[in-house]
Structure 1
Amino acid sequence: MVVPTVQGGYMSLTDWSAFSLDRQFVGLKNFASAFRGEALDAAVRTLFLAVVTVIGQNVLGLLLAVLLNGRILGRNVLRTIIFAPLVVSPLVVGYLFKYIFGPPDAGALNALLEALGFAQVDFLGDPTVALWVIVLVVVWQSTGATMVIYLAGLQSVPPELHEAASLDGANAWQRFWNVTRPLLAPAITINLMLGLIGGLKLFDQIFATTGGGPGGQTKTISTLIYERFAQLGLYGESAALAIVLALGVAVLSVVQFAMLRRQEKKTS
């Protein structure tokens, strides 16, 4: 583990590429390029996707957990159906959505729109729409995991607390906000942490759905690392980007964890 890390660190300080056998020491030049141009755009896009997907999967996961924690018919079947996408490979899910949101005269959704008399849309050809398709893919696949964690938290809340709050005149929202929410703090921390880390490392769904297109407008740091390493052969630059991504994930995770733990203590 240590040796590859040291080698990667050394590689990031050189101009090593597929076009030259010589490795010239260039210092922090590769790291400087990670904070401008295409790499900077990819970093901003990565952060955007991480934040939006975390919010989406946690809001939906919590709503579904609250719903399926009640006494509704077929709740176990519904839990299984919602959780099922998580066990499917992200690449397979990405290719599935690529087929659904395919171009006019090819995609399943466009075929449906045409059958209903609506104009077809180039979902993956529009940078803004394509970015939201990726959000949809990630949220659809990840919501089941957040739901399960929230369900575990909800089932650990003593019913006596809700009964006491009801006797005091608290309505359903007040019981959730003042009784359930504080006890869900550990589950919220876990889901937000896992969601942020997964969002910052996002690769498979983008690779399968858009490949970083159109025009590179859906590239993230992970897809940029792959492109510069496997396609362009810029090993030094890709190593520097990988280190920047690892440090970014570590720093943001530590900051988020500290904030969430502080919030847990306030609500406990």
Structure 2
Amino acid sequence: MHSEATARPKTAAPRAVARHVERSYPLWFYIPGGLVYVVLFIVPTLLSFYFAFTRWTLFDSTFVGFDNFIQFFAEPGLIGSLKNTLVYGVVTSASKVVLGMLLAVLLSGPIIARGYLRSVTFFPVLVSAVGVGLTFQVLLDPFNGVVNQVWTAITGADGPGWLTNPDLALLSVAAIDVWKGVGLATLIYIAGIAAIPNEYFEAARVDGAGAWQQFRSIILPLSFPATSTVILLSLIGGLRSFDLIWSTTQGGPGFSSDVIASVIYKQYQAGFYGLSTAGNVILFLVVTAIVYPLSRWLNSKETSL
């Protein structure tokens, strides 16, 4: 009896502490953030869904049902832009995962000027996408660009039209996107690697594991939360990308680097606001249909580790 009496307070105390932690923030504490979320996200989203079914201007709107969606799907370049959007999203996200992981492993090791190299790797993330696009438009100029001048000096042949060749334009912009965004992926991976307890590496070294074995058996599986974060952020950014593509190629040459976002912007330019709003709704649904199940799958893999 005495042992039971003394045991109850020990089990009750953690529960009381847990309840105290759960209730440490009152309900009103969440109201400001909730209002900002409703005003800046929920309301514009609902309004965009409504205006997608109208022909609207700044002063009036006319309900037209599904006409905007039918017309948008009849766009001649839509299938090509959808394909380009998927290719761009997959290429950029996969490249950022691989390069981000490799750079993070390198910059987490005992190398000279590690802090400086981390800063250099992250610096492109801070630069405006439009600024990056205009800069690379000059660097990749097929006649006077520095890249092709170096290419000619090394190979003796004329360099390719990185942004003017229909077969290279989309992948060239994707490479620029990777250069600009890999710093964020690297930072996320560095944080993920730093969170791995050092005891794992010490035990691996005692067992005679080399660098490759430590990477494969410790870093790769235990940094999976960072991997899932990089995949989701990079894929969402790639599927929604517009500013970098528009500032470098404007969807050209022809329609070879057009993505859904650039098609939508062209409709805005032409004054078809309801049609472009319908395109935004379609893009929202496409991104959600891809990212949501992927997120659920990655979370299930993460919890099973």
TM superposition score normalised by structure 2: 0.80
Name the CA distance, whole Å, in 1 between partners of 2:48 and 2:300: 35
In structure 2, the partner of 1:242 is 280
Deviations 1:36-60 (A, max 9, x none): 5312221221111011000111111
Q: Does 1:253 align with 2:265?
A: no
Residue 224 of structure 2: aligned partner: 185
Consecutive unaligned residues of structure 1, counting only runs of 5 or more, are: none
Check the 8 A contact 2:166/2:253 in 1, yes or no: yes
Return the alpha-carbon distance in structure 2 between the equivalents of residues 73 and 186 of structure 1. 28
Q: Is the 8 A contact 2:104 2:190 kept in 1?
A: yes
The answer to whether residue 161 in structure 2 is matched with residue 122 in structure 1 is yes
Counterpart-to-counterpart distance in 1, 2:123 and 2:256: 30
Q: How does 1:7-18 map to 2 (within 5 A)?
A: 7-16=47-56
- The alpha-carbon distance between structure 1 residues 125 and 168, as it changes in their structure 2 partners (threshold 3 A), is same
Amino acid of the structure 1 residue aligned with 2:224:
A
Distance 1:74 1:220, change over 3 A: same
Q: Do structure 1's residue 194 and structure 2's residue 259 form an aligned pair?
A: no
Deviation at 1:233, TM superposition (A): 1.0
What is the match of residue 170 of structure 2? Answer: 131
Deviation at 1:7, TM superposition (A): 3.6
Name the CA distance, whole Å, in 1 between partners of 2:182 and 2:44. Answer: 34
Q: Deviations over 1:112-145 (max 9, x none)?
A: 3344432232221111211111111100001111
CA distance in 1, matches of 2:145, 2:136: 9
Task: Name the counterpart of 1:154.
Answer: 193
Tell whether the 8 Å contact from 2:137 to 2:248 is kept in structure 1 after alignment: yes
1:1-268 equivalence runs, <5 A: 1=39, 2-16=42-56, 24-35=62-73, 37-104=76-143, 106-116=144-154, 117-229=156-268, 231-267=269-305
**What is the CA–CA distance in structure 1 between the aligned matches of 2:48 and 2:196, rounded to whole Å?**
47
Q: Distance in 2 between matches of 1:160 and 1:10?
A: 56
Looking at structure 2, the residues matched to 147 and 112 of structure 1 have their Cα atoms a distance apart, in angstroms, of 28
Whole-Å Cα distance in 1 between the matches of residues 114 and 60 of structure 2?
62
Q: Separation in 2 of the partners of 1:3 and 1:258?
A: 26
Work out the CA distance in 2 between the residues paired with 1:197 and 1:16: 28
Using CA pairs under 8 Å that are at least 6 residues apart, name the structure with larger relative contact order, 1 or 2: 1
SS for the counterpart of 1:72 is coil
Larger Rg: 2
Q: Is the 8 A contact 2:141 2:148 kept in 1?
A: yes
8 Å Cα contact 1:228-1:238 kept in structure 2: yes
Tell me how many residue pairs correspond in the alignment: 263
Query: In the alignment, is the contact (CA less than 8 A) between 2:148 and 2:159 conserved in 1?
Result: yes
Cα distance in 2, alignment partners of residues 74 and 14 from structure 1 = 58
Q: Any idea what the Cα deviations from partners look like across 1:5-60, whole Å, max 9, x if unmatched? A: 44422322234479xx9855432232234445312221221111011000111111
Q: 1:40 & 1:119 partners in 2: Cα distance?
A: 33
CA contact (8 A) 1:34 1:40 kept: no
